[in-house]
Amino acid sequence: MKIFKGLLETTGGDRAPASLAIDDASLTLKTGESVLGSWGFDAVEIRRSASDRFALDLDDERLIFIANDPVDFAYTVPGWIETHRPKSRKGIKRRLEQRRTNLIERIERSGGRRHTRKISRSADHVHNWSEQNLPGGLIRRVCKLCDHVSIDLRGADLPAETIAEPDTPSTTR
């Protein structure tokens, strides 16, 4: 469990010292010794609204948490919640197909010069490569039909691979 200290601000502007605790499954909010509530990660949304302020959407509640250590809070809490949020696999194939359909419709509506290429999966055709030489002997290939990108490392100037024996301690300098 990790605890963050700060101030809790309501939409009315009232502030109170608070602590926010996260564990593997929930977020708990306290003011002093009083527990305001505990929410599962599926009911929690956190967005940074200013340098030290974070908007907390907790079910139907919207609060502002002003963190004492905003950098640690910003790098820890949103990522932790997203990692531990329960994932629903139900309907994932349908959602992916819907996203693809929406993307195709958006590109067709835009009619822009950049989006005139046919959208297709890389397995649907033989790639028509355009090559670009990069520093260090790398070659970047872009398919003219589908924008698929491939990087060729065969001629690259890469450091030699070192293989250590299993019981040999490694040294880095």
Instruction: Per-residue pLDDT tens, the chain, 173 aa: give them.
Output: 899 999 988 767 788 899 999 988 888 989 888 888 888 888 888 888 888 889 888 887 888 899 999 888 888 888 887 777 776 566 667 777 887 888 877 777 766 545 444 444 545 668 788 888 877 777 888 877 777 777 777 666 655 555 555 565 555 54
Continuous H helices in the chain: 70-84, 92-110
Q: What is the pTM assigned to this prediction? A: 0.48
pLDDT score at 20: 92
In order of start, what are the domains of the chain with their CATH numbers? 2-84 (2.30.29.30), 118-158 (no CATH)
Q: Tell me how far apart the alpha carbons of residues 4 and 1 are, in angstroms, rounded to a whole number.
A: 10
Which one, of 31, 39, 38, lies nearest residue 66 by Cα?
31
